[in-house]
Amino acid sequence: MKLIKRFFQAIVAHLDIPLFLIVLALMGIGLLTVFSATSSDGFEKLDKQFINMAVSGAIMLLVARTPPQTLMRFAVPLYVTGVVLLLGVALFGIVVNGSRRWLSLGFVRIQPSEIMKIAMPLMLAWYFHKHESLLKARHFIIAAAILMVPILFILKQPDLGTSLLIGASGFFVIFFAGLPWKVMFGLAAAGGAAMPVLWSMMHDYQQRRVMTLLDPTSDPLGAGYHIIQSTIAIGSGGGLGKGYLNGSQTHLEFIPEKHTDFIFAVFSEEWGLLGNGVLLVLFTLLIARGLMIAAGAPTLFSRLLAAAITLVFFIYAFVNMGMVSGILPVVGVPLPFISYGGTALVTLMLGIGILMSIQTHRMLVKK
């Protein structure tokens, strides 16, 4: 009895209760929606997603117990391993659906870009932390180089969604490290000027995606089909939705990839604007809590890491909902904690674990 109590205390000790409750609520919505999206195939996907959640939950607990100083030690090896694996993908990768994203290790296939999602903010936060007292322009330039190497690899695969997420995570670290506004505006202006060049460098399918975003009706049966059907689902959901398991767009298979990237259309059709509002509030709370943790973090490393990870959650949610509702191009980004899929969930819960670790080890550092 005492043993159980101690075990329980050990778990709770490094749990951030507000964050935990928010994630739990999101996951609950996720399970409900995954079931609605896959109910025609029975409980198989629901069971799998439940296991995914349990496993990633355990990983979260493990990471939450790990002090930030220990996490910092993983920064360089993880980053280097990631870059090496990306190089491996470029040389020996397996092509699936026209993209070279996977690396076969004989017994298992891995997607190294997924590792980078965590490795990148970790690495940059470590780098700035190391040079904390004397940050100069060159440190920002080196940071930019650390960011760009893996991103170029991933863009080459090509995987626009992932490079966007990793790029964002790295940029947020640099931003919070104090990149001057002047430089940012300058870069933004230069970026705007470079748009045509960038456009010409994009792959055909990426250009098409941007074009169909601007005018989905131009290709109603091809690339525009996804956006048209998902906006129909959202719009027909109305204020209060069609009711759980009653979405006709969902259950008559009009929504493509309805349990993964387009799951938001399923949720939105059945729960309406009210449901969307609740979801937005939950994400806002999640991000607010993350930013609070960052604000209270004692070291530069933990501050930068917490803030960057939190904003990555935001990017995930914003890009996904934006693309499904037709205001952003279709890039392969899942809706955090809602979309079906183990890999993304593990990455996300790693991030939550890191946030909890930073929050719960704060006092220990002060002492």
Partner 1 sequence: MSDFYHSEQDSDRFRHRLLVAGAGVLLAFLLLFGRFFYLQIVQHEYYTTRAESNRISLVPIMPNRGNIVDRNGIILARNYSAFTLEITPSKTLGLEETIDGLAEIVEIQLKDRRRFKRLLEESKNFESIPIRTRLTDREVARFAAHRYRFPGVEVKARLFRQYPEGTMAAHAIGYISRINAKEKEAIEESGHGANYKGTDHIGKIGLEEHYEYELHGTAGHEQVEVDAGGRAVRVLSQTPPKPGNNLTLTLDSKLQKIAEQAFGGRRGSLTAIDPSSGAILALVSSPAFDPNLFVDGIRFDDWDELNNHPDKPLLNRAIYSTFPPGSTFKPLMALGALTSGKRTPGQAIADPGYFNFGNRRFMDDKVGGHGMVDMHKSIVVSCNTYYYVLANDMGIDTIARFMGDLGLGKKTGIDIPGEATGILPSQEWKQQRFKKREQQKWYAGETISVGIGQGYNAYSTLHMSHALANVLNYGKVFRPHLVNTITNPNTGEVRTIESEPVRQIALKTEHVDLIKRAMAGVVKEGTGARAFAGAAYESGGKTGTAQVFSLKGGKYVAGQVRERLRDHSWYVAFAPVDQPKIVVAVMVENGGFGAQSAAPIARQVFDYYLTGQIPGGPAPETEAPEDASDGPLVEENAHEAD
Which tokens in the block code for residue 241?
A: 């939705």
Residue 106 touches partner 1, criterion: CB under 8 A: no
Alpha-carbon distance of 68 to 355, in angstroms, equals: 9
Per CB under 8 A, the segment of 19-27, 73-81, 138-146, 171-179 that binds partner 1 is 171-179
Which of 249, 302, 339, 360 binds partner 1 (CB under 8 A)? It is 249
| Residues 75, 240: Cα–Cα separation, whole Å | 46
171 binds partner 1 (CB under 8 A): no
Q: DSSP assignment, residue 133?
A: G
The Cα–Cα gap between 281 and 128 comes to 33
Strand order of the sheet with strand 109-110? 94-96, 99-104, 109-110
Alpha helices, H only, 246-361: 248-251, 263-296, 300-324, 342-360
Among residues 157 and 268, whose Cβ is nearest to partner 1?
Answer: 268
Q: For residue 79, state whether it binds partner 1 (rule: CB under 8 A).
A: no
Q: Of the two residues 233 and 338, which places its CB atom closer to partner 1 in the complex?
A: 233
Q: Which stretch binds partner 1 (CB under 8 A): 51-59, 70-78, 149-157, 285-293?
A: 285-293
β strands within 154-227, DSSP E: none
**Residue 203 to residues 149, 157, 194, 240, 263, Cα–Cα distance (Å):** 19, 11, 16, 40, 26
- Phi, psi (degrees; rounded to nearest 5) at 95: -90, 120
Q: Is 280 in the site for partner 1 (CB under 8 A)?
A: yes
Binding residue for partner 1, selected from 28, 42, 220, 235, defined by CB under 8 A: 235
Residue 346 near partner 1 by CB under 8 A: no
Examine residue 49 and tell whether it contacts partner 1 (CB under 8 A): no
Site for partner 1 in 294-313 (CB under 8 A): 294-295, 300, 303, 307, 311
287 binds partner 1 (CB under 8 A): yes
* DSSP helix, strand, coil percent of the chain (3-state; round to 5): 75, 5, 20
Q: Which of 50, 74, 102, 175 binds partner 1 (CB under 8 A)?
A: 175
The span of 55-63, 91-99, 102-110, 175-183 binding partner 1 (CB under 8 A) equals 175-183
In 3D space, the residue among 45, 23, 25, 24 whose CA is nearest the CA of residue 260 turns out to be 45
- Shortest Å distance, C-beta 155 to partner 1: 24
The two three-digit tokens of residue 313, written as one number: 């959650």
Task: Determine, following the binding rule CB under 8 A, whether residue 246 of this chain makes contact with partner 1.
Answer: no
Residue 47 near partner 1 by CB under 8 A: no
Is there binding between residue 276 and partner 1 (CB under 8 A)?
yes
Residue closer to partner 1 (CB basis): 90 or 287: 287
Q: Does 232 bind partner 1 (CB under 8 A)?
A: yes
Q: Which of 57, 112, 224, 272 binds partner 1 (CB under 8 A)?
A: 272
Interacting residue with partner 1 among 171, 254, 267, 301 (CB under 8 A): 254
Classify burial at 271, counting beta carbons within 10 Å of its beta carbon; exposed 0-12, middle 13-18, buried 19 or more: buried
Q: How many residues interact with partner 1 (rule CB under 8 A)?
A: 44
Interface residue with partner 1, options 147, 321, 331, 335 (CB under 8 A): 321
Q: Residue 343: which of 109, 94, 42, 107 has the closest Cα?
A: 109
Q: Does residue 277 bind partner 1 (CB under 8 A)?
A: yes
Q: And the tokens for 260? A: 């993964």
Q: Is 100 exposed, middle or buried (0-12, 13-18, 19+ CB in 10 A)?
A: middle
Contact with partner 1 (CB under 8 A) among 97, 133, 200, 217: 133
Sign of CA dihedral 277, 279, 282, 284: negative
Establish if 283 lies at the interface with partner 1 (CB under 8 A).
yes
Residues near partner 1 (CB under 8 A) are: 133, 172, 175-176, 178, 229, 231-239, 248-249, 252-254, 268, 272-273, 276-277, 280, 283-284, 287-288, 291, 294-295, 300, 303, 307, 311, 314, 318, 321-322, 325-327
